[in-house]
Amino acid sequence: MIVNFISVLPVLLTASAVVAAADQRGQNDNALHVVLPRDAIPAIFEPEFEPASKARLADHELVIGVVGENGQRAYSTWQLDRHEIVNDTFEGRPIAVTW
């Protein structure tokens, strides 16, 4: 059930390619703004992993990582740019890694 979801968190980045209404808005704007249709950025539901020793990432590539009792998992933010959310289970806990 959803409320058990856990969120691992992010930098605030917003899509540069989808610039929509750029009229001036106040800093306390409380509206929800639709800038893309639902699922236009597809979340990941069945993540697959490989050992760090085999992974091919750039040295300066930013990752989000979780550190557990028995292991650690990293998620590339460059990959997350295109998916924004990974639904995963880490050491028995359902988590959403979001960016």
Partner 1 sequence: MLFRDGLVMYDRETDTLWTQVDGKAVKGSLMGRKLEIVPSVHATWKQWKQLYPESVVLKKRGIPRSSYDAYNRDPNRAGILGRRIGDRRLPPKERVIGVRTEEAATAFVEKDVREAGLVQGEVGSVQVVLVAAGSDHPIVTFNRRVSGRVLSFRLAQGAPSVMEDTETGSRWSLADGKAISGSLKGAQLERAPAYPAFWFGWLGYFPNTALWKR
Q: Which of 93, 94, 84 is nearest to 38 (CA)?
A: 84
Find the binder of partner 1 among 7, 42, 89, 92 (CB under 8 A).
7
Tokens 């539901």, residue located: 45
Contact status: 20 vs partner 1 (CB under 8 A): yes
Ranges within 44-73 binding partner 1 (CB under 8 A): 44, 47-53, 55-67, 71-73
Contact status: 3 vs partner 1 (CB under 8 A): yes
Q: Please answer whether residues 64 and 99 qualify as being in contact, where contact means their C-beta atoms are separated by less than 8 angstroms.
A: yes
Contact status: 21 vs partner 1 (CB under 8 A): yes
Rounded alpha-carbon distances, angstroms, from residue 13 to 9, 33, 43, 99: 12, 15, 16, 8
**Degrees to nearest 5, angle at CA 8 with 26 and 67:** 150
Task: Report in angstroms how near the CB of residue 28 gets to partner 1 at its nearest.
Answer: 7
Task: Report in angstroms how near the CB of residue 46 gets to partner 1 at its nearest.
Answer: 11
Task: Report in angstroms how near the CB of residue 94 gets to partner 1 at its nearest.
Answer: 10
